[in-house]
Amino acid sequence: MALFIAHYAKFCVSAAKIIDLISKVISKRAAREKRGVSSRENFNYNCGKNIISAFSRLTRNPYVEMQDRPEAALIALRRILRATEFNSRNIARASGLTPSQVLALQFLSNRGEATPKEIATHASLKQATITTLLDRLEERKLIRRRRDAKDGRRVLVTLTASGKKALDASPDGLQQLFEERFQKLNDWEQSAIIASLERVASLLDAEDIEAGPILDIGALHEPPKKEH
């Protein structure tokens, strides 16, 4: 099913390009006929030449040549990794936080207070990972943990004034930009992207690696080291 969606997505993109080209050719024809400088034979010749040229450009594209496809895929992956790295560094430079820490603080800001388990569920991370992340935030006095007065077994986490200040200083990240643009795509485009990315994860033997819906690099609780 995923393979079918991916092929269907490619077909729709190619078809859209061809339809767009034909529309441009027809518009050119109308304009030339108004000027009285185009015969039917001349139009047919130009139309055929333009469509052949379009197909030629598509097939000559290095991204669709068989021998170049692995390299093109790796270049795209590298760009994503670099964009993620730049995003993490920008957030760390502005607020000293990681994207994962920002996500946790945003959740607390919206909820008022939450348990570590609720934060872990929201971030799709393991309890041990969230515990370490919260330890770092508490060390910086960005959060406060306390026992629930009604149930001493429960721990509640709240955002401190310093945490609110650090959150306000954090710029809108790459993740928010991706989510906003992704939501605007058609359903078939979203499905095709998800299927392709899941297939890439499989090709890299990364299906079982712990990961939350966070664009981050390195340890989730440690900001990236500064470049020298």
What does the pLDDT look like over 107-157, one tens digit per residue?
999 988 999 999 998 888 888 888 999 999 999 999 999 988 888 788 999
Domain membership flag for residue 167: yes
Mean pLDDT by 10 residues, the chain (228 residues): 49 50 50 51 49 47 63 90 88 86 90 91 85 93 90 88 90 84 94 93 88 69 51
- Is the overall model pTM greater than 0.85, yes or no? no
Q: 149 and 173 share a domain?
A: yes
Domain membership flag for residue 210: no
Looking at the structure of the chain, the number of domains it has is 2
Report the CATH number that the domain containing residue 122 is assigned in CATH.
1.10.10.10
Q: For residue 99, what pLDDT is reported?
A: 85
Q: For residue 172, what pLDDT is reported?
A: 76
Average pLDDT, the chain: 75
Q: For residue 187, what pLDDT is reported?
A: 94
Instruction: Dig out the tokens for 124 from the structure.
Output: 């799709």
Q: For residue 35, what pLDDT is reported?
A: 56
A 10 A CB-CB count for 37 gives 9
Half-sphere exposure (Cβ direction) of 213: Cα atoms closer than 13 Å = 13
Domain membership flag for residue 34: yes
Could you tell me the residue range of the domain that residue 111 belongs to?
73-203
Domain final residue, candidates 66, 92, 117:
66
Residue count of the chain: 228
- Cα 54 from Cα 48, distance rounded (Å): 10
Q: 51 and 160 share a domain?
A: no
Q: For residue 225, what pLDDT is reported?
A: 54
Angle of CA points 136, 139, 140, to nearest 5°: 95
Domain membership flag for residue 208: no
Domain membership flag for residue 226: no
Q: 50 and 96 share a domain?
A: no
Q: 157 and 193 share a domain?
A: yes
DSSP state for residue 67 in the 8-state scheme: G
Q: 163 and 139 share a domain?
A: yes
Domain membership flag for residue 182: yes
Q: For residue 43, what pLDDT is reported?
A: 46
